[in-house]
Structure 1
Amino acid sequence: MRAIKMTVAAALSAASLTLVAAPALANDAETCAVAPVKLRTLAASAQPEAARKAERNIALGEALCDARNRSEAAKKFNLAAKSLGTELAAVMTTQASASVQ
């Protein structure tokens, strides 16, 4: 009985992770188009070491986008965002302050 409960719990966890990841996969094309610009804007005001790491991952992400490997590109963009002290999801959801006001 315990094994069945554990199996059901694992299946539910996997299903919920799939639902969470599905929108991220659908937005990979948008990520390739928008993330480099937004990340470079953040990197311009970051510490030099963090900006260097971010720029390296942004360039790798762009190369992966060009090679049509958008899921790996998103990972590189996320690494760039983390080196800048944020998450890629937060970078992608932020709007320009002029459009908010």
Structure 2
Amino acid sequence: MHALKVTAVHDSKQFDYVLSREPVDLVVVDLNLGREDGLAIVRNLATKSDVPIIVISGDRLDEAEKVVALELGATDSFPSLSGCANSWPAFE
């Protein structure tokens, strides 16, 4: 069993607030949700922190966007959270 504390945020303003107040071990950015550019969030976070960033995308992420996300600082990308189950041990 994994002991995880999850904090959900809905925009970069909330995200910056959480980052300034509590330690974060892993960030999951969903490119399909919200009104903000998920790749911009990845870029911004990667310049501020070395926390691992997982990008999920549903069916939206094509190979070019995946490469861009990785170049901007994402650690990995998956079509959904269920696709990254095998990676959890690496993040513990």
Smaller-chain TM-score range? under 0.3
**Greater CA radius of gyration, 1 or 2?**
1
The TM-score, its normalising length taken from structure 2, stands at: 0.27
More helix by share: 1
TM-score, normalisation: structure 1: 0.26
